[in-house]
A and B are shown apart, each in its own frame.
Chain A
């Protein structure tokens, strides 16, 4: 603190310190305590003083101050001068400073900082797919690690609402008038996030679809447009799934084999039920069985899939769906373990986005009840409408659980024949993961 030369030998550094001790005694530092003249220093307390002495020599206390020799220091490294000067209370500008507005501002700024980080990770993953580097399976660890990171950040962002909820609606009311027309609806990064993950324009609810581009001009508008036009994570994952080893008609032919097995399995199941004597129970079992037959008939009906695709109820191509189901069934095979983790993280991201939306709705409801939003939407009701499967990008992965079958129905593997299950593709070393830091 105060340079050594100015330091009081007894260890006291300021008026405040001196005032603190009512008995007028100097608070000792570790070395001078033996000589401090403190009348309460008695033999029985030597042990605690000894440890004070020891710690001066303690390895953990050794060190220097590297920054004294110049170089980038913390504040410069993080450009804190920019960040710490970005909190301007509109209520204060309006001559009626409201304390809680600072929390409101900082919370939103923290959200935007983390949105930037998520976009950084998301874009790097998309690049790995777009550039074809994903074909070198050595890059899969990087992909899955970064997707997991996005999930962890999202968890934090969901928890962050608890901080803003320490503000009451009454306190918010005191400064809300100064905010109009600023609104989260104008958050560029949030829209980029939605688009790059794969929320399609046609699925946005009307108010969203009609207005969300209105606020962005110039460079921002270009960025937004690019995010709509460039391949989304959904599209990239779709192409990747279509390439899942084992789908080839002239190879393992997973789909063909699966269809045969399911048909056979269902036929046997029906026979078993028919052989039982008639009863309420067997009637019920037959009804259940018929339902299952319907479900699987639909699964293998490609035309039906295309129809649902056109309506937006399915998002992946038929082939990609097959790839996903293949990875699900054979997830323990060495080659599919990390791909399975990737599918899990994609669902986590969807789940967390929707939890984020829901937490947001709850906070808003609490703060403004049924009033309209500052940006002009209907407020709580508009936000509620976005808690919907329309905004769920990887909805197909969730729905795959509909089509799980008993393990015995899954086409059997033969390790000597089906070597693709444990043999990765790494291409040539120009795709090497370690060379490309991104």
Chain B
């Protein structure tokens, strides 16, 4: 039927693919709903705003540089995803702020949204490889048209840092000195609010302080743990004494004593307050106990999802840090040791922010210093310690499904 001279009747090698037969199997049946009116794709997504937001400064100045478009779009994509992260972060903070977190039915929502944040962050870390397809030479061709615009002026990035819990005193000097200077009016109000409202760190801290099992007149986890740890070390030391081989014994004994000292500091509340003072710890003493409790008893039904929350918080810190580092690597590649367009020292400034100072949940990472053998962990008795499998859900006005947020 095609008029093609090579067409042989018997040789329909791929009959189903022939456009002319136009078979209408079920997958091809359908209508076009949009002809009847109603919101269509581009209106739903307000694409007229998004797809017209790329104005090349190099072009405006009469010297259009091709790669500037990539530079713009990459940053816009980052800001879009920052908005999404803030949307999720604020909703989680709200659940804590409004005390809805006391209804443990809301925990799934909390942990799902935190995991969503980490997955978005993973994408943002990978996104650098797209911008790295631009060479330093190509960047050099349009960089002059950018000044003084700089990522340092990104409002959403600062909101993100503050709402997670980066503390102002921990910011490196150039950061601390200047980061508020760019924001005025409504932006400045938003920034101030993000510093004043309770950060995720503070909210999680309060939540951890309420961890069931910490009550001194209840399970008294901390008291029990301290006893077990002391007994455990004494036991180990005695075992060592009974062993032959003086030299090795002395070495191992010294090791054990060092380890014991580490735990001695753990149970020293004054030491904790001191470290809080200099910014090396961020959580309260009670919250630290709650976190360690969740670590040790993470397999108990009531602590399973809380444990996932702690893991997600560490993931967020790790990914922020990886984001910063990837950013540093790329900036180094693009501008070597030149100063930043916004006025910072550039690469060197950025490098200084890849530091534990910006790590919000640093205490969770450090908790692994205090892991003990399973046998030292205070034993549980399910018939007595019902708290470990009985959740609190309050009345149905806290119902998770009612409140879509």
Asked whether any CB of chain A lies closer than 8 Å to the CB of B91, the reply is yes
Nearest Cβ in chain B — how far from A155, in angstroms?
Answer: 8
B301 to chain A, nearest CB (A): 22
B75 at the interface (CB under 8 A from A): yes
Please name all residues of chain A whose beta carbon is closer than 8 Å to the beta carbon of B64 when the two chains form the complex. 437-438
Do B173 and A13 touch across chains, with their CB atoms under 8 A apart?
no
Please tell me if the beta carbons of B22 and A303 are within 8 angstroms of each other in the complex.
Answer: no
CA gap between A189 and B119 in the complex, in Å: 26
Inside 8 A of B250's CB, which chain A residues have their CB?
A: none
Q: A17-B169, A67-B150 given as contacts; is B76 within 8 A of A78 (CB)?
A: yes
B371 contacts A by Cβ under 8 Å? no
B271 to chain A, nearest CB (A): 9
Q: Mark B179-219, 1 if CB is under 8 A from A, else 0.
A: 11110000000010001111000100000000000000000
A66-B342, A376-B30, A376-B33 given; A313·B17 CB < 8 A: yes
- B147–A71 touching, CB < 8 Å: yes
Please encode chain B, from 44 to 58, with 1 for each CB lying within 8 Å of some chain A CB and 0 for all others: 111101111111010
| Chain-B contact segment, one of A84-92, A246-254, A336-344 | A84-92
Interface string of A206-236 (1 = CB under 8 A from B): 1100010011000000000000000000000
Q: A102-B87, A382-B30 are in contact. Are A181 and B195 (CB under 8 A)?
A: no
CB pair B80 A67 closer than 8 Å: no
Give Cα A143–Cα B284 distance, bound, in whole angstroms. 58
Kindly state the separation between the CA atoms of A303 and B343 in the bound complex, as whole angstroms.
67
Q: Are the C-beta atoms of B6 and A86 separated by less than 8 Å?
A: no
1/0 contact trace for B1-31 toward A, CB 8 Å? 0101011000001100111001110111111
CB distance from B130 to the nearest CB of A (A): 5
Residue of B nearest to A120 (CB): B69
The answer, yes or no, to whether B351 is at the interface (CB within 8 Å) is yes
Number of chain A residues whose Cβ lies closer than 8 Å to a Cβ of chain B: 127
Our pick among A21, A38, A307, A381 for the contact of B4 (Cβ within 8 Å) is A307
A103: chain B residues within 8 A (beta carbon):
84, 87-88, 116
- B168 near A13 (CB under 8 angstroms)? yes
The reply to whether A311 and B273 contact each other, CB–CB distance below 8 Å, is no
Cβ-closest chain A residue relative to B153:
A74
B178: Cβ under 8 A from any A Cβ: yes
Residues of chain B within 8 A (CB-CB) of A99 are 91, 404-405
Closest to A74 in B: B153
Contact B130–A75 (Cβ < 8 Å): no
Task: Return the chain B residue nearest A13 by Cβ.
Answer: B168
Q: Give the complex CA separation of A38 and B275 in angstroms.
A: 11
- Whether the pair B351, A60 counts as a contact (CB closer than 8 A) is yes
A112-B179 Cα distance, complex, nearest whole Å: 31
Cα of A33 to Cα of B343 in the assembled complex, Å = 28
Please tell me if A166 contacts chain B, counting CB pairs below 8 Å.
Answer: yes
CB within 8 Å of B: which of A34-82? Answer: 38, 40, 45, 48, 55-56, 58-69, 71-80, 82
When distances are taken between beta carbons in the complex, the residues of chain A under 8 Å from B349 are: 60-61, 63
Contact B172 A182 (CB under 8 A): no
Interface pair B195/A1, CB less than 8 Å apart: yes
Most buried by A among B57, B130, B279: B130
A15 near B155: Cβ-Cβ < 8 Å: no
Q: Distance (Å) between the CB of B348 and the closest chain A CB?
A: 4
- Report whether A188 and B42 are in contact in the complex, using a CB–CB cutoff of 8 Å: yes
Across the interface, do B22 and A60 meet the contact criterion of CB distance under 8 Å?
A: no
Chain B residues contacting A79 (CB-CB under 8 Å) are 53-55
Cβ–Cβ contact A90 & B44, under 8 A: yes
Task: Verify B44–A65 contact, CB threshold 8 A.
Answer: no
Q: How many whole Å from B381's CB to the nearest CB in chain A?
A: 33
Given contacts A61-B345, A378-B28, contact A96 B404 (CB under 8 A): yes
Nearest B residue to A207, CB-CB: B28
Q: Does A124 contact B (CB under 8 A)?
A: yes
CA distance in complex: A72, B342 (Å): 11
Give Cα A342–Cα B331 distance, bound, in whole angstroms. Answer: 28
Residues of chain B from 336 to 374 with CB closer than 8 A to chain A in the complex: 339-345, 348-349, 351-352
State which of B46, B73, B197 has its C-beta within 8 Å of the C-beta of A88. Answer: B46
The verdict on A405 contacting chain B, using a C-beta distance below 8 Å, is no
> Which B154-173 residues sit within 8 Å CB-CB of chain A?
154-155, 167-169, 172-173
CA distance A103 to B19 in the complex (A): 38
Given A73-B182, A78-B76, A160-B123, A313 and B14 touching (CB < 8 A)? yes
Kindly provide the distance from the CB of A55 to the nearest chain B CB, expressed in whole angstroms.
6
A437–B38 touching, CB < 8 Å? no
Q: Is the Cβ of A181 less than 8 Å from the Cβ of B279?
A: no
Which A residues are closer than 8 A to B by beta carbons?
A: 1-2, 11, 13-17, 20-23, 25, 27-30, 33, 38, 40, 45, 48, 55-56, 58-69, 71-80, 82-88, 90, 96-99, 102-103, 105-106, 108-110, 112-114, 116-117, 120-121, 124, 145, 148-149, 152-153, 155-156, 159-160, 162-163, 166, 174, 179-189, 202-203, 205-207, 211, 214-215, 303-304, 306-307, 310-313, 372-378, 381-382, 384-385, 390, 437-438
Supplied contacts A61-B349, A74-B154, 5 more A-B pairs, CB within 8 Å: A65-B342, A72-B146, A79-B53, A156-B130, A205-B28
User: Could you show 27 A-B contacts with beta carbons less than 8 Å apart?
Assistant: A20-B167, A40-B270, A40-B274, A40-B278, A63-B340, A63-B344, A66-B341, A74-B152, A74-B154, A87-B83, A97-B405, A99-B404, A103-B87, A106-B84, A112-B45, A113-B50, A152-B129, A160-B123, A181-B40, A183-B33, A188-B42, A215-B40, A310-B2, A310-B7, A311-B18, A378-B28, A437-B66
What 9 A-B pairs are tightest by C-beta distance, nearest first? A1-B180, A307-B6, A40-B274, A66-B148, A181-B33, A60-B348, A186-B41, A74-B153, A66-B343
